[in-house]
Amino acid sequence: MKKRFILIAVIVLATLFFIGTRSDAASLTGKATYQGEIPKFKGIKMEADPVCLAKHSGEVFPETLVLGDETTKTLGNALVRVTSGLPSKTYPTPTEPFVLTQEGCRYSPHVISVMVGQPIKFLNPDGTLHNLHVLPKINAEFNMAMPQFRKEATKTFDKVEVAPFPIKCDVHPWMGAWITVMNHPFFYVTQPNGQYKIDNLPAGTYEVEAWHEKLPAQKATVTLAEGETKELDFTFSKP
């Protein structure tokens, strides 16, 4: 009986292993870059809150355009996501919270994407008053104070909202970020190196969008075969 139980356990584990490492899954990879003159941004004035000011050793600039460097102009904070072509199915929601930190009186990360029902944990390590004023159009709006003694709060969104919506702090008007709520896991937000990778796609033809808060969205159609990895780059420019 014991040997039979061990055999069944081995079979189950092997099955889960092969499901998790499907050889027929396709991947989409690439990078986002910016084309054009780099604007000069004014530094953020944080003197109104000495706690914010003390968190930084130098001048702080808006995250409106985050580039890797002025030569390659790779672009951060671009949301790359599949917008159509996926099989009609329900994808499991991550139970691990996505963490958004209000640190140095800035939101980090600046652009986030979560799945419907996935918890978002908001942290306040600053030791000063923040408030979370979240402004969706489909989900319920909320405005929640986070005084210095309230170090974390958790919220979820129960409806799909593919159009990114803003979050702001009414106490510190320079603080801003963007949230989108998806019904699938095939999305990625670029870092300053501009790179993204979307794994575990079934074979098919997809419409893919790269979104940026200030620059016109870029769209492309791509066809992936089983097990294929294809590169798809996006170039953003000022309108």
Strands (E), the chain: 26-35, 79-84, 98-103, 106-108, 111-115, 120-123, 130-134, 142-146, 152-155, 161-168, 176-182, 187-189, 195-201, 204-211, 218-224, 229-231, 234-237
**What percent of the chain shows pLDDT beyond 90?**
88
- Report the alpha-carbon distance of residue 113 to residue 118 in Å, rounded: 10
When pLDDT is cut at 50, 70 and 90, the band that residue 24 belongs to is confident
Average of per-residue pLDDT across 123-147? 96
Per-residue pLDDT tens over the stretch 74-92:
999 999 999 999 999 999 9
Q: Is the peptide bond before 109 cis (omega within 30 degrees of 0)?
A: yes
When pLDDT is cut at 50, 70 and 90, the band that residue 239 belongs to is confident
- For the chain, which domains are there? 92-183 (2.60.40.420)
Average of per-residue pLDDT across 98-109? 97
pLDDT of 23: 59
Average of per-residue pLDDT across 212-237? 97
Single out the residue of 112, 29, 99 nearest to residue 63, CA to CA: 112
